Structure 1
Amino acid sequence: MISIRARLFLILLAATGAVWLSAVWWIQHSTRSEVEQVLDARLAEAAQMVSSLLSGRRIDLASAADAATNGRDNASPEYARQLSCQIWSLEGVLVGSSASAPAGRLAEERSGYSENLVDGEPWRVYTEVNEELGLRVMVGDRLAVRERLVADVVRGLLIPALTILPVLAGLIWLSVARGLAPLDRMARALGARSADNLDPVAAGPLPAEIRPMGEALDDLFARVAASRERERSFTAFAAHELKTPLSGIKTQAQIAGMAPDAETRGRALAQIERGVARTDRMVRQLLELAMVDSASEGGASGLDLSVIADDVVLAVDRLAATRGVRVETCLPDLPPVAGDLVLATVALRNVVENAILASPAGGQVHVTGEVLDGALVVRVLDRGAGIGEADRDRITERFFRGRDAPEGGSGLGLSIALSAMARLGGDLGFAPRPGGGEIVSLRFQSRRA
């Protein structure tokens, strides 16, 4: 593809050439008009001069015709020698002619300007009638001579302009190069930086036309840097969170192996089971988080939230039984929603699991749903300790666990739910439950028609 520099150069050169050609046409047209007016005036002046000399008896017929062609002409002495003069009587008899006059008659009997074909050549003639002397004075010149004179004048104007054209092209090229210098500086600045350098572009002051591109690049670098930082934090926290239960499992396995009695061995095995369950849940959540982060936004499937809620309750039944918590659903006939089945299931399951972990033994978790302002809202209610005001703004951060967070959690559940809802085009809301506990609301979009 042609470069911007070459494209701008060609556009400017073409535009300049079009203006230059227009100027050439205008100069040629105006010069031709002016020269023809001057030459026509010269013909009339010469014819009138001869007629005046004859009327004043200051010259004889023999030399009158030559006087028209040898008169002074400061503007064009060479052209004066190209004039031809004929003197005819009103009866049609040639009574005098200049040496340069053609053999044929220059004009017909009418007076004033006329163009005639004489001896096969086109002529421009002015005829002056002297009624007093009964004479007709004709002064003319060949049109070919006029064309040559006009061409000489136009050539004298255009040759300097043609000489300047290469200089003008060079100036245009330099101007384009100077105008694109900020882009070159930005390209050099980007090419010189390392892959790990995500600082803002330092390419000097940018013109208004490319400032949005620089700002967009800086914004992109900032988002990439934030994404990298999240990945580093995710890796560090994941390694730490996995290390803790794995170390506990290893320790309890050693205790079970060295236990002197069945009771001690049973307690160690129970701890191992809890550690394995926690590790299994964390690994599943890490995989879900990776899946949610790579999923596309939105969706067009018609999802039945009642069916999804029933599937989630079955999936968390073992966790609820272990914690001594009962999960109840109350979702009336709801219209289908737009979105991806896996993302919706992941979001609701993590919220319900979080509510189960937060609930005390013997507690209940309620899952309800309703249509509100054109959207479908699923609410998960528990009677746990709730979210502290100091932790509410950070509760959806990855690996963040509040002060009152239940044992066994990893700080990923609500973060996964928030990311999944964002991919679905919905949102996640939190509110304290009257009487204690928390209400988590999942707002889904209605299915598009």
Structure 2
Amino acid sequence: MFTQGKSIQRTLLLSLLGMLWLLAAGWLALSTHVHQRDHLDEIDHRARDTIQLLAGHNTAGVTLEDSLRAMAQAASILSLNDSIDYHISTVPATLVFGRTDLPMPPPDAMRSGQSVAFTQDSIQDHKHPLRITSAKFPSAASPAHTIHIRIAIDEHDFLSHSQAYIRHSLGSALLLSLLFSSAITLTVIHSLRPLRKLVEDVRNIDAGNLQQIPLRDSPVEVRYLATTLNTLLGNVQARVQRERQFINDAAHQLRTPSAGILNQAQLALAEKDDESRQLRLSKIVEAAEHNAQLIAQLLALARTSETHQTGATVFDLAALTRRVTRAWVGRATDANIDLGYEGEETCFHAGHPALIEEALDNLIDNAIRHSGGTEITVSLTHADNASNAAVLEVRDNGAGVRTGELPQMFERFWSGNQATAGCGIGLPIVAQLVEYHQGKVEAHVPTGGGLAIQITLPLVQDAQGSPNPSKPS
């Protein structure tokens, strides 16, 4: 059980819940701001209506004092019902009615051509702030004077109402956020259930039986992952089966020569005659050499099972074929076999030169050891079809095999009826190496007898980008 590292569920919950609570806080702040602004607008609108009402007493035909006194009487009546304070004065200062501590509006409150100017301000009066609305306009009774009116409304009711609204909104936001948080949590947990089921299925896979993960009604994303894992499990299962088969085959093949060596050694110990003992020892050496060759080829076969098509390079296949053929001329001459090369001067293939060389070594070695013939020809030509491919062939004039046995030649540990039986691993190694290079290998009986093994490999352009030699017409 992993206790550290990133968790998809935790990450999703933190992200979604974080955004939810952030949105809730933003909504609460925005709604509170809008509510406060609307309530202040309501206070200012009421104050402006009051000033408009008082300004209705600014008429001509009466004295300035009578005009201001009428305004003050109206303001006093309004203050009894609406809890407002007022200040009425003139500039130049000759008359003052109401509170004298209300602040004056700023000097530039009334712009040019404006008959009435409104400004808002706040002052602290005892325990509660006052919202002040000011106005000034020319006196109709005395044009030389300007009338100043200031209306102050207690904001206590506004503050109480705002606090109640905030409490109500906060409670609603918390309740909704908790409900949405629960819904999001349940949704995330439910949505990740297929992933947890996939983890459980993977944990239940038995190392001895790599069964496929059931897809059932999995979501598309989980299905992609499960399909990929099933492909991997299939490859691992196939490889495990190959390794088991390889171990079984290797044990079977090694058991017979090992038993023969032990038997011959016991007989050699029991022999009294030196000549007979020498014969037994020769058979032991022969069996040991066979065993050594078998083990070497088993190791080569195991190495090819580990090979992957990575790090491929472009190389001259014709040059490699000529070099390998020349290297085997001495062995062929010792076996009274004429070994030669014919074919292309140059052609390029993208792959692993060492692996292609090992495949060719196996073919030539197999022909020298087991063909029983007198000639071996290594050739490299372009394929007869339109594909850009080369055919590498190793052909001998030996005993060959029956046509019905050709499909079996590339099976592990199969030995035919050639002059000398081999280990049955060389050709499977060749087939596996060729498969890794996107090629194919075939065997056929040429006209006139013998055996020919053909490897077909794709060709590429050389490193300079020039094309391969054209096919011969």
Report the TM range for the smaller structure's normalisation: 0.7 to 0.9
- The structural deviation recorded for 1:230 is 0.7
Question: Is the counterpart of residue 416 in structure 1 residue 439 in structure 2?
Answer: no
User: How many angstroms apart in 2 are the aligned matches of 1:155 and 1:102?
Assistant: 37
Cα distance in 2 for residues equivalent to 1:46 and 1:165: 43
Alignment-derived partner of residue 412 in structure 2: 398
User: What is residue 311 of structure 1 aligned with on the other side?
Assistant: 327
Which residue of structure 2 lines up, in the alignment, with residue 75 of structure 1?
none
User: Is the aligned partner of 1:158 residue 2:170?
Assistant: yes
Note the residue ranges of structure 1 that are not aligned, 5 or more in a row. Answer: 72-79
Q: Distance in 1 between matches of 2:72 and 2:47?
A: 20
2:439 is aligned with 1:427: yes
> In the alignment, is the contact (CA less than 8 A) between 1:90 and 1:136 conserved in 2?
yes
- For 1:443, which of 457, 466, 472 is the aligned residue? 457
Secondary structure at the aligned position of 1:41 is classed as helix
3-state SS of 2:120 partner: strand
Aligned residue for 2:13, secondary structure, equals helix
Evaluate the alpha carbon distance shift between residue 440 and residue 272 of structure 1 in structure 2; reply closer, same or farther with a 3 A threshold.
farther
CA distance in 1, matches of 2:274, 2:456: 47
CA distance in 1 between counterparts of 2:93 and 2:419 reads 132
2:430 maps to a residue whose letter is A
Report the CA distance shift for 1:432/1:119 in structure 2 as closer, same or farther (over 3 A). Answer: closer
State the one-letter code of the partner of 2:394: V
Aligned with residue 210 of structure 1, among 191, 197, 222: 222
State the Cα distance separating 1:369 from its structure 2 match.
2.4
Match for residue 210 of structure 2 among 169, 187, 198: 198
Query: Is this contact kept in 1: 2:57–2:71, CA < 8 A?
Result: no
Measure the CA separation in 1 of the matches of 2:418 and 2:53.
120
Which residue in 2 is equivalent to 1:362?
373
Q: Which residue of 2 aligns with 1:232?
A: 244
Any gaps of 5 or more consecutive residues in structure 2? Answer: 60-65, 465-473
Which residue of structure 1 lines up, in the alignment, with residue 118 of structure 2? 113
- 1:329 matched to 2:334? The reply is no
How big is the shift at 1:351?
A: 1.9
Counterparts of 1:289 and 1:337, CA distance in 2: 23
Q: Check 1:193–1:426 CA distance in 2 against 1; reply closer, same or farther (3 A cut).
A: closer
* Paired residue secondary structure (1:200): coil
SS of structure 2 residue aligned to 1:283? helix
Aligned 8 A contact 1:61 1:96 in 2: no
Distance 1:356 1:179, change over 3 A: same
The aligned amino acid for 1:67 is I
Secondary structure of 1:409's partner?
coil
Contact 2:434 2:441 in 1 (8 A): no
CA distance in 2, matches of 1:67, 1:197: 98
Tell whether the 8 Å contact from 1:49 to 1:68 is kept in structure 2 after alignment: no
2:205–2:211 CA contact under 8 A, matched in 1: no
Q: Following TM superposition, by how much is the alpha carbon of 1:49 offset from its aligned partner in structure 2, in angstroms? A: 4.4
Shift of 1:269: 8.0
Counterpart residue type for residue 411 of structure 1: G
**Equivalent of 2:232 in 217, 220, 243:** 220
Partner-residue secondary structure (3-state), 1:210:
helix
C-alpha separation between the residues in 2 aligned to 1:331 and 1:309? 12
Question: Percent identity of the aligned residues?
Answer: 22
Distance 1:224 1:179 in 2: 30
Structure 1 residues 96, 212: closer, same or farther in 2, change over 3 A?
Answer: same
Which of 58, 66, 84 lines up with 2:76 in the alignment? 66
Preserved contact between residue 118 and residue 134 of structure 2 (Cα < 8 Å): yes
Alignment partner of 2:378: what SS? strand
2:102 pairs with 1:104: yes
TM-score (norm 2): 0.71
Counterparts of 1:265 and 1:325 in 2: how far apart (Å)?
Answer: 33
TM-score, normalization: structure 1?
0.74
The equivalent residue for 1:175 is 187
Specify whether residues 298 and 377 from structure 1 end up closer, same or farther in structure 2 by C-alpha distance, changes over 3 A only: farther
In structure 2, distance between residues paired with 1:267 and 1:326: 32
Write the distance in 2 (CA, Å) between the matches of 1:444 and 1:105: 98
Aligned length: 427
Counterpart-to-counterpart distance in 1, 2:10 and 2:419:
66
Rate the CA distance shift 1:233–1:315 in 2: closer, same or farther, 3 A.
Answer: farther
> Following TM superposition, by how much is the alpha carbon of 1:46 offset from its aligned partner in structure 2, in angstroms?
2.9
| Residues 1:102 and 1:315: Cα distance change in structure 2 (over 3 Å) | farther
Residue of structure 2 equivalent to 1:139: 151
Q: Aligned equivalents of 1:62 and 1:257: distance in 2?
A: 144
2:299 corresponds to: 287
